């Protein structure tokens, strides 16, 4: 395959900067790596045309290499990539799911619709799309505790919870959540009484689950927004309970007796 000179230079430039990063971090062969990058460590007081960097891990390096090549070949638009990253870092995440939970706690009719048809009720609040096409919402009560896992890989409701945490994708969680869910919950700090039924839901590419956690006591005076603030990601996976907010230190107006 023929490569234009500019592509070759760009790739070399990338590799050179990566090597310089390795040398700067004092990893990978010290003077050898620095020499190869044309950037001896003894010269670190001169002006740089690049920033010092902590050497990225292997996968980050590969992703960056891939991205730089695709951008050079004009196969992807960097602005579009930034938009995708921004979406998953800032716009899609567990705050969306928290709004769903808070609405269900505040509006019994919405809650009924949510448990009846999760996808439609979640769409009412404007959340939907990829990895959330078929949502089932399961309610935690005084007698039932629901726990969500994907035993096969890492299926997870992106529109309401964002991207899955690392532990959710671990083989330990994926296997132990079904083998010994009570032990797993105990390790997450959730004690389950013997007379409470534990239901484990195995997410798939077809159906994804959202746990509707129990509304904590002493939250009657909270607005829907305030309720959303106390709902955590983990509570919507089923590995945590929601706690009532602690009164701020120094607050003496009682916060409505909560
Ligand atoms: Fe999966």
At 127-170, the pLDDT tens digits run 998 889 999 999 999 999 999 999 999 999 999 999 899 999 99
Residue 21: both structure tokens together: 């990063």
Terminal alpha carbon distance of the chain: 70
Cα 114 to Cα 22: distance, rounded to the nearest angstrom: 51
Q: Same domain, yes or no, for 66 and 172?
A: no
Does any domain span residue 227?
yes
pLDDT higher than 70, residue 33: no
Q: Same domain, yes or no, for 222 and 192?
A: yes
More confident of the two residues 2 and 171? 171
Does any domain span residue 56?
yes
Lowest mean pLDDT among 39-48, 113-122, 148-157: 39-48
Cα 230 to Cα 11: distance, rounded to the nearest angstrom: 47
Quick check: pTM over 0.75? no
Instruction: State residue 78's pLDDT score.
Output: 84
Q: Same domain, yes or no, for 118 and 213?
A: yes
CA of 23 to the centre of ligand 1 (A): 39
CA of 154 to the centre of ligand 1 (A): 4
Total number of domains in the chain? 2
CA of 27 to the centre of ligand 1 (A): 36
Q: Same domain, yes or no, for 228 and 198?
A: yes
Lowest mean pLDDT among 82-91, 222-231, 245-254: 245-254
Instruction: State residue 61's pLDDT score.
Output: 86
Q: Same domain, yes or no, for 64 and 117?
A: no
**For the chain, percent of residues with pLDDT exceeding 70:** 74
Does any domain span residue 81?
no
CA of 164 to the centre of ligand 1 (A): 10
233 Cβ contact list (under 8 Å, min separation 6): 93, 94, 97, 161, 162, 165
Does any domain span residue 203?
yes
pLDDT higher than 80, residue 126: yes
Tell me which residue range forms the domain holding 153. Answer: 91-237
**For the chain, percent of residues with pLDDT exceeding 90:** 59
Does any domain span residue 82?
no
Does any domain span residue 213?
yes
Q: Same domain, yes or no, for 22 and 110?
A: no
CA of 204 to the centre of ligand 1 (A): 5
Q: Same domain, yes or no, for 72 and 117?
A: no
Lowest mean pLDDT among 18-22, 103-107, 112-116: 18-22
Q: Same domain, yes or no, for 95 and 72?
A: no
Does any domain span residue 180?
yes
Confidence of residue 56 (pLDDT cuts 50, 70, 90): low
Question: What are the tens digits of pLDDT across the range 174-217?
Answer: 999 999 999 999 999 999 999 999 999 999 989 999 999 999 99
Q: Same domain, yes or no, for 19 and 110?
A: no
Does any domain span residue 254?
no
Q: Same domain, yes or no, for 36 and 104?
A: no
CA of 206 to the centre of ligand 1 (A): 10
Instruction: State residue 246's pLDDT score.
Output: 79
Residue 200 CB neighbours (<10 A):
17
Can you give the CATH number for the domain in which 155 is found?
A: 3.90.330.10
Q: Same domain, yes or no, for 56 and 126?
A: no
CA of 256 to the centre of ligand 1 (A): 43
Show which residues are catalytic: 150, 153-155
């Amino acid at each position: 395959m023929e490569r234009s000179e500019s592509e070759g230079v760009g790739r070399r430039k990338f590799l050179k900067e990566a090597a310089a990063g390795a040398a700067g971090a004092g990893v990978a062969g010290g003077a050898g790596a620095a020499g190869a990058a044309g950037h001896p460590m003894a010269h670190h007081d001169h002006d740089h045309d690049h920033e010092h960097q902590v050497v990225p891990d292997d996968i980050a390096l590969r992703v960056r290499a891939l991205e730089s090549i695709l951008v050079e070949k004009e196969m992807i638009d960097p602005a579009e990539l930034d938009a995708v990253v921004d979406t998953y870092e800032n716009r899609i995440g567990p705050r969306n799911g928290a709004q769903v939970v808070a609405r269900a706690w505040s509006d019994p009719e919405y809650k009924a619709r949510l448990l009846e048809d999760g996808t439609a009720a979640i769409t009412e609040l404007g959340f939907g799309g990829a990895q959330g096409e078929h949502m089932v919402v399961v309610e935690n009560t005084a007698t039932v505790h629901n726990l969500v896992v994907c035993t096969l890989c890492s299926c997870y409701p992106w529109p309401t919870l964002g991207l899955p945490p690392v532990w959710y994708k671990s083989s330990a969680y994926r296997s132990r959540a079904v083998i010994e869910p009570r032990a797993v919950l105990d390790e997450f700090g959730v004690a389950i009484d013997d007379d409470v039924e534990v239901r484990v839901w195995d997410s798939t590419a077809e159906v994804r689950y959202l746990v509707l956690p129990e509304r904590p006591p002493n939250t009657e005076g909270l607005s829907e927004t305030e309720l959303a603030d106390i709902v955590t990601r983990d509570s919507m996976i089923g590995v945590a309970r929601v706690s009532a907010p602690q009164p701020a230190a120094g607050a003496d107006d009682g916060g409505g007796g909560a």
